[in-house]
Amino acid sequence: MSMRELERLDVEAVRKDFAILSRTVRDGRRLVYLDSGATSQKPRQVLDAEREFYERHNAAVHRGAHQLAEEATDAYEAARETIANFIGASSGEVVFTKNATEAVNLVAYAMSNAATAEPALSRFQVGPGDEIVVTEMEHHANLVPWQQLCQRTGATLRWFPVTEDGRLDLTDIGELVNERTRVVAFAHQSNVLGTVNPVQTITARAREVGALVVLDACQSVPHMPVDVGELDVDFLAFSGHKMLGPNGIGVLWSRRELLEAMPPFITGGSMIGVVHMDRSTWAEPPQRFEAGVPMAPQAVGLAAACDYLTSIGMDRVADHEHRLTEYALDKVGSIEGVRIVGPTETVDRGGAVSFVVDDIHPHDLGQVLDDRGVEVRVGHHCAWPMHRKLGIVATTRASFYLYNSFEDVDALAEAIRDAQKFFGTRP
């Protein structure tokens, strides 16, 4: 950050763009939405852009030659360009999927498809003796697809352990990532712990052994400036719905050269070169990976979300969340009987704050919070093995976004104390 401090984000102004934030819940309580890690709310600019597409330009993209089809195709491809710019990529490197989960599966299935295909695809092939490395803090979306790839191909899954304080244990990286490793897949930022992982250290080792690097950026792209040019990974996956965009759209980014070499995943219309009854060839990327009529209105909505975030500035969004997180770690962490799960300092840490409260099960805690209008998530947050490793069944997670205010954190802290009173675990 420059000398001049970053101008602060105007939360009240931002909140006006989100109609849902002015509704009440449970007997007229103000909605305190602290579940953006699961899905974000959408500003009217995004909803308007999507609706405008439907009401003015709707047609099947890349399939028609009439004016509506032209306009729809233009809108779709312009959206791709905007989204590519948002992550410092070029548009030919951005593939649209339905969510990040599909994006990770796309890579994992392309790899097992390569296993039964021509030898030219050997860089994507895995089999017995090969290893795939993940981490113990992965979301199921970046774990189960790799388990399944191993199951289909006979490769072996290995993983970085998580330390007690919620960081990756890289002690054995030299052994764990070795010449048998074909893929290293990990989260940029943990959706439970908030931990921002050391991309460069891991990527550097992966490069030494020639492994492909898959980065789950679901919790980073929405919350901090991300530039694929700086990251030096091979694949990057994220979801639109977590970054103010519509549901039903996700992104797989990869280097052009890799996409050009990679076999397809879902097959059907619009992804083909030539089709005969018994064989087909493929279109160039990104089309090769976008079979069927795509989610053009959602792409347009996601581009509007990128524009919205850009107009505020991702630096500013990150700064705002950083301050909220600092405040929450302090406010919530200092309540007697509350323990933060994950790093307690804001270094290399984003705005997912998970915690346990002595003698109150997260489900029961969540119920009291909900009764106070405070909407958090309880459970294992699709990171079950990590909870098991930390010896916890479930946690309560508050996660922030640009529309959250310091009062939201106050409401959270107060509701936690209410729950302690309600269940009689604290006076």
Partner 1 sequence: MQLDAMYQEIILDHYRNPHNKGLRDPHDGEAHHINPTCGDEVTLRVSLTPAPGGELDEKATVADVSYDSMGCSISQASTSVLTDLLIGRTVADGMQTLDAFTELMQSKGQGEPDEDVLEDAVAFAGVSQYPARIKCALLGWMAWKDAVSKSLDKEGV
Ligand X SMILES: Cc1ncc(COP(=O)(O)O)c(C=O)c1O
Query: Catalytic amino acids?
Result: 382
Binding-site member from 54, 171, 208, 334 for its own copies (CB under 8 A): 54
350 counts as binding its own copies under rule CB under 8 A: no
Judged by CB, which is closer to its own copies: 174, or 292? Answer: 292
And the tokens for 54?
Answer: 């439907």
260, 363, 406, 407: which one contacts its own copies (CB under 8 A)? 363
| Cβ(238)–Cβ(209) below 8 Å | no
Closer CB to partner 1, 205 or 387, in the complex: 387
Q: Cβ neighbours of residue 256 under 8 Å, at least 6 residues apart?
A: 90, 92, 93, 285
User: 247 is in the binding site of which of its own copies, partner 1, ligand X, none (Cβ under 5 to 8 A by kind)?
Assistant: its own copies
Out of 219, 239, 399, 404, name the contact with its own copies by CB under 8 A.
Answer: 239
What's the full length of the chain, in residues? 427
Structure tokens at 55: 């009401």
Touching its own copies, residues 124-143 (CB under 8 A): 136, 139-143
C-alpha distances out from residue 327 to 14, 322, 351, Å: 20, 9, 11
Binding partner of residue 73 among partner 1, ligand X, its own copies, none, CB cut-off 5 to 8 Å per kind: partner 1
Q: Is 99 in the site for its own copies (CB under 8 A)?
A: yes
Backbone angles phi, psi at 376, to 5 degrees: -120, 175
Task: Please list the alpha-helical segments (H only) found in 26-172.
Answer: 44-52, 67-86, 100-115, 144-153
Strand 24-25 relative to strand 29-30, pairing: antiparallel
For residues 355 and 390, the answer to whether their CB atoms sit within 8 Å is: no
The one segment of 177-185, 201-209, 287-295, 320-328 that binds its own copies by CB under 8 A: 287-295
Site for its own copies (CB under 8 A): which residue of 173, 221, 262, 296? 296
316 binds, among partner 1, its own copies, ligand X, none (CB under 5 to 8 A by kind): none
The entry of its own copies, partner 1, ligand X, none near residue 121 (CB within 5 to 8 angstroms by kind) is: none
Q: Which does 393 bind (CB under 5 to 8 A by kind): ligand X, partner 1, its own copies, none?
A: partner 1
Q: Is 33 in the site for its own copies (CB under 8 A)?
A: yes
Closer residue to its own copies, CB minimum distance, 218 or 413: 218
Residue 375 interacting partner from ligand X, partner 1, its own copies, none (CB closer than 5 to 8 Å by kind): its own copies
Only one of the segments 36-44, 312-320, 328-336, 338-346 lies at the binding site for its own copies (rule: CB under 8 A); that segment is 36-44
Beta carbons of 342 and 195 less than 8 angstroms apart: yes
Chain positions contacting partner 1, by CB under 8 A = 26-27, 62-65, 69-70, 73-74, 272-274, 283, 361-364, 367-368, 371, 378-380, 384, 387, 393-394, 422-423
| 206 versus 218: smaller Cβ distance to ligand X | 218
- Reference 36, options 259, 181, 254, 244; nearest CA is 244
Q: Which stretch binds its own copies (CB under 8 A): 1-9, 17-25, 316-324, 416-424?
A: 17-25
Given 30, 45, 69, 418, the residue binding its own copies (CB under 8 A):
69
Question: Whole-angstrom Cα distance, residue 296 to residue 61?
Answer: 7
Contacts of 204 (CB under 8 A, 6+ apart): none
Q: Which amino acid is at 198?
A: P
Residue 186 Cβ vs ligand X, minimum distance, rounded to whole Å? 10
Interacting span for ligand X (CB under 6 A) from 44-52, 97-105, 153-161, 368-376: 97-105
The amino acid that residue 134 corresponds to is: V
Cα 18 to the chain's mean position, in Å?
21
- How far is the C-alpha of 422 from the C-alpha of 367, rounded, in Å? 11
DSSP-assigned letter for residue 425? S
Closest CA to 44 of 242, 305, 317: 305
Residues 6+ apart with CB under 8 A from 13: none
Site for its own copies contains 274 (CB under 8 A): yes
3-state secondary structure (DSSP) of residue 96: strand
**HEC string for 217-285:** CCCCCCCCCCCHHHHCCCEEEEEHHHCCCCCCCEEEEECHHHHHHCCCCCCCCCCEEEECCCCEEECCC
Q: Given the complex with partner 1, which of 112 and 191 has the nearer CB atom?
A: 191
Minimum Å gap between C-beta 125 and ligand X is: 25
* CA terminus-to-terminus distance, the chain: 44
Nearest-approach distance from CB 240 to its own copies, in angstroms: 10
Q: Which of 64, 129, 174, 210 binds its own copies (CB under 8 A)?
A: 64
Separation between Cα atoms, residue 202 and residue 197, nearest integer Å: 9
Q: Which residues bind ligand X (CB under 6 A)?
A: 99-101, 139, 141-142, 187, 191, 216, 218-219, 239, 250, 269, 292-293, 382
